Structure 1
């Protein structure tokens, strides 16, 4: 049975700089902030430091990025459009492509030697962040590789995120619509479908990483 995913608006006291949603995955509600504003990123990171103070020496963070797909050979290689981070039930979707600036708090967060960032194929995401924005990520762990080691099955290195979720979390299939995967992530206003998709990727990565690290 597929896991149901839904989204609804939450009260938003700073509509000029952010949008706030509750993305529900099964029985879990993830508070999701969508922003182009560096100060909002600062605030999100401050809240993580505050809320997870006792875990800062081994914090696990789900990480994913999205960018506009290019078709054909030799076409322009689009920059990362969104960076998604998830810790517990807090998710940030930072529209880097439209950002007023890349905040130093984010650079510091991503380069914290005590944090562990997790995702499928995460090294390619990290490399692209470095290439497009000169941002480094200190500790990146591919959850496919982690699952391969834990379960003694090298095949898990090539399993997608939702396949890993079924194996590691024992949850039903979570839909990842291809039309959303290949949608225009450069657009100024993300659609509800894109917000759900982006949040779920980061959240599921976090949950899997929590089990494997």
Structure 2
């Protein structure tokens, strides 16, 4: 193992050019049965997807989260942000999560997997925590999406703290929430694809 590999410092990441994130035309908000039907048709053709979840924050001590409230998937060109209020949306998201033929790659997924198991009645299959791939390369600490994007692409991935701690259980999500969720999954997909293809910034 190469112990010299370390994640870049926050100060160094801040100086990098921005990561080209998805914009609203590249994101599909899946909130109705019709949305779910159309998204299902597209997702059936995928074998690898970036993956993440979002949950309404808990602020009271010992309060148990009822999340995830959002499940998001992304290809290299598009993201699908599933709200889980509608049974059809939950069914399609659950089918993708349960599929053994679709690899779901993301960062720091331990808590996501536990919440999914509680909400959907079963743990997701074919899940890859990208941090484990970096540890195999010799990184001793978890990188997370920001550091991973910096390592792989020499770019700065921005995440809004306001969006991260917002109400993900709301029926009407803001554009900022939708883009935050979409790009978490998209950045994971980009990093995973780059790792699989051996591409890395010099």
Measure, in 1, the Cα distance between the counterparts of 2:43 and 2:164.
28
Check the 8 A contact 1:69/1:78 in 2, yes or no: no
Measure, in 2, the Cα distance between the counterparts of 1:143 and 1:4.
18
TM-score, length-scaled by structure 1: 0.76
Q: 1:35 to 1:135 in 2, by over 3 A?
A: farther
Check the 8 A contact 2:19/2:156 in 1, yes or no: no
Q: 1:129 to 1:38 in 2, by over 3 A?
A: farther
Residue number among 30, 55, 65 corresponding to 1:35 in the alignment? 30
State the superposition RMSD in angstroms. 2.2
Q: 1:85 to 1:119 in 2, by over 3 A?
A: same
Number of the residue aligned with 1:154: 140
TM-score, length-scaled by structure 2: 0.79
Measure, in 2, the Cα distance between the counterparts of 1:6 and 1:142.
21
Residue 196 of structure 2 corresponds to residue 209 of structure 1: no
Q: Helix, strand or coil for the counterpart of 1:46?
A: helix
The answer to which structure has the higher strand fraction is 1
Higher relative contact order (CA 8 A, sep 6+): 2
Deviation (angstroms), 1:114? 2.4
Check the 8 A contact 1:42/1:106 in 2, yes or no: no
Deviation (angstroms), 1:76? 3.9
Deviations 1:48-89 (A, max 9, x none): 335x5xxxxxx2111110011011321242321110011221
Deviation (angstroms), 1:209? 1.2
Q: Helix, strand or coil for the counterpart of 1:80?
A: coil
| 1:85-124 pair list within 5 angstroms | 85-96=73-84, 98-102=85-89, 104-124=91-111
Q: Which runs of 5+ in 2 are unaligned?
A: 1-15, 197-202
Residue 66 of structure 2 corresponds to residue 66 of structure 1: no
Q: Which runs of 5+ in 1 are unaligned?
A: 9-20, 23-30, 53-58
Number of the residue aligned with 2:161: 178
**Length, aligned pairs only:** 181
Check the 8 A contact 1:84/1:199 in 2, yes or no: yes
Number of the residue aligned with 2:183: 200
Check the 8 A contact 1:48/1:87 in 2, yes or no: no
Deviation (angstroms), 1:94? 0.7
| 1:161-172 pair list within 5 angstroms | 161-170=145-154, 172=155
Measure, in 2, the Cα distance between the counterparts of 1:131 and 1:69.
17
Q: Helix, strand or coil for the counterpart of 2:163?
A: helix
